[in-house]
Structure 1
Amino acid sequence: MTWLDDIAAARHELDRSSTAARVADLLRDRITDGALVPGARLPEEDLCRAAKVSRNTMREAFRLLVQERLLVHEFNRGVFVRRVGADGLSDLYRVRRILESEGVRCAHAAGPDALDRVRAAVEDGEAAAADGRWPDVGTADIRFHQALAALVGSPRVDEMIRHLMAEMRLVFHEMGSPREFHEPYLARNRRMYDLLAAGDHEAAERELRSYLDDAEAQLMRAYLEKERPDVTVRSS
């Protein structure tokens, strides 16, 4: 099933009051799960037909996602999935540190269901890795970090991290091998959950800070290697 088929299958969920927002949700989900990659062109007519919406509705959905930095409109060419640049990467991690660290600090007050979401994301990632489904490991990792921020217990934070992690999925595509990038973080996700479950929130926050620092540095090296292929970038 292609991502267009996913849109067509979900069209029954659209309602008149928020059709454009719901179409934007569907497209954002396809970005988050890795089906839409940076540089992909979004065919307006095909999308309208799949979702059974008007061009005006689809263009409003596009506008919403352009505002979220997920799409770009190129004059006389169309609408494309955006590529996040190195400057955008640094800002994403800056905001993630704020939201996810606050989630870890609030974990002591979060209900059991909230922590169960963290555990479920860890287990989903481990199961996907065992089956060799490495793109799905990336999706589980996104859910893990969304669950960390959700420990704050704020709908606004939930919305912010959902948008941020959709951008992060675009960043993940900068890495050549999903396995090479995601595999080392599986154990770190498990360790962070174990620390939270044990109530050691200070250690969990230290682990999170180190984790995000390492991931940002690794991704930044990948950006530099792509932008300067004649230069070998060595890790410190």
Structure 2
Amino acid sequence: MVTTETEVGELAEDRPLLTRTSTAERVADILRTRIAEGYFPPGQRLSEDSIGKALGVSRNTLREAFRLLTHERLLVHVLNRGVFLKVLTVADVEDIYRTRRLVECAVVRHLGEPPFAVDALDAAVTAGENAAGEEDWKRVSTANIHFHRELVALAGSPRTDELMRSVLAELRLAFHVVSDPRLLHEPYLLRNREIVQALAAGDRAAGEELLARYLDDSRANLVAAYGHFAQEAGLD
């Protein structure tokens, strides 16, 4: 499976994000965001011609962006075949959740004194609830990614933000292979809301406890759902 001009057509909408002095980092950021939003499935080959045309960038710039995303473990380069979205193993999923637990819980633990800026968190939860009401589980998944990015953003650390953008984009690749996304995402909407309520009340300890349990349960559920796919694909 390879990207076609039709499939990457929406990337043209991202051209305003690029300037005449656009860099590979900006291209990588656009592609990373699209991966986190579920735009590209794992295992898909990325077409240099289609993506370069959609974004209006040179082949060299695009290849450098691919190199950056390969370093972030989002893409893999296969000699004489091209660049592909990574297909995760169960061990990858486990490691992603270890990283998330270390980072996200630490962010909540060290928030400082309340009140905490939870408006963006609240908006992400509301977006997820609205998407669930329309049974649009892809949008629910995207809203959940946004929720956790906004949670990490409370730390006010560009380095932490950069780390988690890659981690959460990589996680999204695992979501594609789950046969019933509703069971994967719907139960966590209420739990997201509970975390927001705890932080809005200024209760860091409760927020961290809710988040830790959330991540542990989410890891177990995703690993169980992902395990069957990984076994069939010989990835475990």
**TM-score normalised by length of structure 2:** 0.90
One-letter identity of the residue aligned with 1:25: D
8 A Cα contact 2:115 2:202, kept in partner: no
SS at match of 1:72: strand
Aligned ranges for residues 49-60 of structure 1 at < 5 Å?
49-60=53-64
Aligned residue number for residue 168 of structure 1: 171
- For 2:40 and 2:123, the matched residues in 1 are separated by 25
- Are 2:89 and 2:230, in contact at CA under 8 Å, matched by a contact in 1? no
2:89 is the alignment partner of 1:95 = no
RMSD after superposition: 1.8
Residue number among 2, 6, 12 corresponding to 2:10 in the alignment: 6
Structure 1 length as normaliser, TM-score? 0.90
SS of 1:79's equivalent in the other structure is strand
Distance 1:215 1:79, change over 3 A: same
Q: Is the 8 A contact 1:84 1:170 kept in 2?
A: yes
For 1:86, give the aligned amino acid. V
Deviation at 1:9, TM superposition (A): 2.1
Q: Does 1:121 find its partner at 2:132?
A: no
Deviation at 1:165, TM superposition (A): 0.6
1:73 equivalent among 74, 77, 83: 77
Task: Measure, in 2, the Cα distance between the counterparts of 1:154 and 1:11.
Answer: 27
Unpaired segments ≥5 residues, structure 2: none
Aligned to 2:217: 214
Cα–Cα, structure 1 residues 111 and 36, in superposed 2: closer, same or farther, change >3 Å? Answer: farther
Out of 146, 149, 152, the position equivalent to 2:152 is: 149
Q: Provide the secondary structure at the position in 1 that maps to 2:76.
A: strand
1:100–1:149 Cα contact (<8 Å) kept:
yes
SS of the residue aligned with 2:118?
A: helix
> Following TM superposition, by how much is the alpha carbon of 1:51 offset from its aligned partner in structure 2, in angstroms?
1.4
Give the secondary-structure state (helix, strand or coil) at the position aligned to 1:10: helix
Candidates 127, 140, 143, aligned match of 1:140: 143
Greater RCO, CA 8 A, separation 6+: 2
CA distance in 1, matches of 2:30, 2:230: 32
Specify the alignment match of 1:192 in structure 2.
195
Q: How many residues align?
A: 228
Distance 1:227 1:91, change over 3 A: closer
User: Does structure 2 retain, via aligned residues, the 8 Å contact 1:107–1:196?
Assistant: no
Structure 1 residues 2 and 127 mapped into 2: Cα distance closer, same or farther (>3 Å)? farther
> In structure 1, how many angstroms separate the alpha carbons of the residues matched to 2:134 and 2:62?
37
Residues 195, 210 of structure 2: 8 Å contact kept: yes
Q: Can you list the C-alpha shifts for 1:99-158, whole angstroms capped at 9, x where unaligned? A: 11122123344765x311111111111111111111000000001111111121211111
Q: Are the structure 2 counterparts of residues 227 and 40 from structure 1 closer, same or farther at C-alpha, using a change threshold of 3 Å?
A: closer
Counterparts of 1:35 and 1:227, CA distance in 2:
21
SS of equivalent residue, structure 1 residue 135: helix
State the partner residue of 2:111: 107
SS in 2 for 1:73: strand
- Equivalent residues of 2:115, 2:200 under 8 A apart: no
Q: Is the 8 A contact 2:128 2:144 kept in 1?
A: yes
What amino acid does structure 2 have at the position aligned with 1:180? Answer: L
2:24 to 9, 16, 20: 20
Q: Which of 89, 100, 104 in structure 2 is aligned with 1:85?
A: 89
